[in-house]
Structure 1
Amino acid sequence: MLTHHPAVDPQRFRSVLGHFPSGVAAITSLDTQGRPVGMAVSSFTSVSLDPPLVAFLPGKTSSTFPVIAERGTFCVNVLAAGQEAVCHALAVPGGDKFADLGWQPGPHGNPVLDGVVAWIGCTIETMHDAGDHRIVVGRVEDLATGTTAEPLLFFRGRYPHLAAA
Structure 2
Amino acid sequence: MPPDSSRAMAPQFDNAHFRRALSQFATGVTVITTRLEDGSFVGLTASSFNSLSLQPPLVLWSLSNAASSLPVFTDNSHYVINVLSAGQNALAEQFARRGIDRFAGVEYTLSRTGLPILKGVSAWFECHNRSRYPEGDHVIFVGEVEECEAYPQPGLVFHGGRLFDTDAGPI
Query: How far does residue 163 in structure 1 lie from its aligned partner after superposition?
Result: 5.6
More divergent stretch after superposition (88-97 vs 27-36): 88-97
Q: Give the whole-Å Cα distance in 2 for the aligned partners of 1:47 and 1:22.
A: 15
User: Structure 2: which 5+ runs fail to align?
Assistant: 1-9
Q: 1:149 and 2:153 equivalent?
A: yes
Counterpart in the other structure of 1:85: 90
For 1:107-126, what aligned pairs fall within 5 Å after superposition? 107-126=112-131
Q: 1:61 and 2:66 equivalent?
A: yes
Match of 1:32 among 23, 37, 60: 37
Counterpart in the other structure of 1:74: 79
Q: Which runs of 4+ in 1 moved over 6 A?
A: none
Normalized against structure 2, the TM-score is what?
0.88
Q: Which has the higher helix share?
A: 1
Match of 2:110 among 91, 98, 105: 105
The percent identity for this pair of structures is 37
Normalized against structure 1, the TM-score is what?
0.91
Larger Rg: 2
SS of equivalent to 2:91: helix
Counterpart residue identity of residue 150, structure 1:
P
Counterpart in the other structure of 2:136: 131
Q: Give the whole-Å Cα distance in 2 for the aligned partners of 1:139 and 1:91.
A: 25
Counterpart residue identity of residue 104, structure 1:
T
User: Structure 1: which 5+ runs fail to align?
Assistant: none
More divergent stretch after superposition (154-163 vs 134-143): 154-163
Q: Give the whole-Å Cα distance in 2 for the aligned partners of 1:73 and 1:89.
A: 22
Are the counterparts in 1 of residues 154 and 167 from structure 2 also a CA contact under 8 Å? no
SS of equivalent to 1:66: helix
Match of 2:25 among 10, 20, 24: 20
Counterpart residue identity of residue 77, structure 1:
N
Q: Give the whole-Å Cα distance in 2 for the aligned partners of 1:39 and 1:124.
A: 16
Are the counterparts in 1 of residues 32 and 81 from structure 2 also a CA contact under 8 Å? yes
Aligned pair count reads 160
RMSD of aligned alpha carbons: 1.7
SS of equivalent to 1:63: coil
